[in-house]
Amino acid sequence: MSRTTRFSRSAEAPARAGRTPLTAARPGTLAALAAVGVLALAACGTGSGGSGGGSDTLTEIDYYDAAPQNTQLPQILDACGKQVGVTIKHQQVPRAQFMPKLLQQASARSLPDLALIDNPDLQQLAATGGLVSLSKAGLSTTGLYPSIVQAGQYQGQTYGIAPGVNGLALYYNTDAFTAAGLTPPKTWDELTADARKLTHGSRYGVAFSAVGTEEGAFQFEPFFWTAGADLKKLDSPQAEKALGLWKDLVGSGSASKSVVTWTQADVNDQFMAGNAAMMVNGPWQLPTLNGNKKLHFGIVPIPVPDAAAKPVTPLGGETWTVGHSNAGREANALKVVKCLLGRDESAKWSKDAGYIPSNQQAAAQLAASEPQMAAFVQEIGTAKARTTELGTAYPKVSQALADAIQASLAGGTAPKSALAQAQQSAQN
């Protein structure tokens, strides 16, 4: 959630969405990393349906509503447009209106030439037949994380590709941990114990987003999946165990009851203000956190149920897609995508958005050179695309899961009952 909406928003970027080791991103380092992951895309088109018009002006749409993405993306688009010899008309649509608008345009075969969409929405849009197959257009995904490639596929074809991804990890206030004589938690038991010990006065032990949207589901999925739960069966004992963890944290006072209304940006604000000793959040928050020189923090992988488990986090981040139009427009749009995935633009995007390169070798180099990103990179190897289990059914199930979280944390419903209702809703 992708910003996922700053994760992705994948969730707000799904979504969507304080400086210690990553003090200042080094352009030279990022450029070198991006160079490793340059993607080859043949500039060709098919010209089947879609909107007409000249091929020297292309349309682009995304849902970014906050810096740095909303500030930098138009500049990157302009640069790639000039390189290709086209003008790109940029349009930003509020996240809640974004997919309804695209699906309406797809039904009318009038999708924008370029769209940057949250990766869990990709399959739903590809199913309309309105997107160009990047596989057939010659896109190479060699060297990319398999899970990232899978996130951009529908029925065996690649319809979207992310220049980089994001995920979730656990931020912790190092001053608070030192004062309490604690080390960062690795297991759920340690997380629970540390959160209880760190809760004092106006400060809660931990903060996370449990808002009733994809953003809340995105934040819950690392605990849900790491417990062994499956989106096809929301009411499993494993899912109940994961939701029980969150309910216990809120019920004990270790987490604020307000988590049901907090977005990931709100959680970040609470952490920066010293109102939470730990938080679940993504790397897109680093520029803001690192701007607060009085804040000292570290980042570790999401705690797991037991020492033998590994965190399974959802892949956040957006994918570039090309809408069907005519041969000339598609060819130019594909050239623009090739540019957007190129060395300089990928380097700028990685720096500004706080993303992890999709290329495995580049990601490993990033972890070695930028310690703040190490936990996020470590988790990518076991991360999961949100549509892997359900395909186009994911949005409906995700909302059912978000509703269950709300019912349990805000409504007082037992996790077992809330998840049973969610499973019933998902099946209807």
- Write out pLDDT tens, residues 199-241: 999 999 999 999 999 999 999 999 999 999 999 999 999 999 9
Q: Which residue has the higher pLDDT, 366 or 51?
A: 366
Q: What are phi and psi of 384, to 5 degrees?
A: -130, 135
What is the Cα–Cα distance from 427 to 421, expressed in whole angstroms?
10
Q: Cβ contacts of residue 179 below 8 Å, gap of 6+?
A: none
Q: Which residue has the higher pLDDT, 352 or 47?
A: 352
At 224 the pLDDT is 98
Q: Cβ contacts of residue 314 below 8 Å, gap of 6+?
A: 1, 2, 4, 10, 14, 167, 168, 218, 221, 222, 225, 383, 384, 385, 386
- Give the predicted TM-score (pTM) of the model: 0.78
Residue 322 token pair: 């090309």
Residue 170 predicted with pLDDT over 50: yes
174, 175, 185, 200, 333 from 182: Cα distances, Å: 9, 10, 8, 15, 52
Residue 252 predicted with pLDDT over 90: yes
Beta bridge partners of 158: 153
Beta bridge partners of 170: 280, 300
| DSSP per-residue codes, 146-175 | HHHHHHTEETTEE--B-SEEB--EEEEEHH
* CATH topology assigned to domain 27-165+317-377: D-Maltodextrin-Binding Protein; domain 2 (3.40.190)
CA contacts within 13 A on the Cβ side of 117: 29
> Tell me, what DSSP letter sits at residue 274?
T
What rounded mean pLDDT belongs to the chain? Answer: 85
Q: Which residue has the higher pLDDT, 409 or 34?
A: 409
Q: Which residue has the higher pLDDT, 122 or 16?
A: 122
CA 328 to chain centre: 32
pLDDT digits (tens, 9 = 90+) for 66-119: 655 667 788 889 999 999 999 999 999 998 899 999 999 999 999 999 999 998
At 354 the pLDDT is 77
How big is the chain by its Cα radius of gyration, in Å?
21
Task: Give the torsion sign (CA, 135, 141, 146, 151).
Answer: negative
* CATH topology assigned to domain 169-300: D-Maltodextrin-Binding Protein; domain 2 (3.40.190)
Provide the residue type at 123 as one letter: Q
Map tokens 């091929």 to a residue.
Answer: 55
Residue 378 predicted with pLDDT over 90: yes
Q: Which of 253, 412, 70, 268 is nearest to 404 (CA)?
A: 412
What mean pLDDT is predicted for residues 301-311? 95
At 65 the pLDDT is 74
- The fraction of the chain above a pLDDT of 70, given in percent, is 85
What mean pLDDT is predicted for residues 2-31? 36
Domain definitions of the chain by residue range? 27-165+317-377, 169-300
pLDDT digits (tens, 9 = 90+) for 386-402: 888 888 899 999 999 99
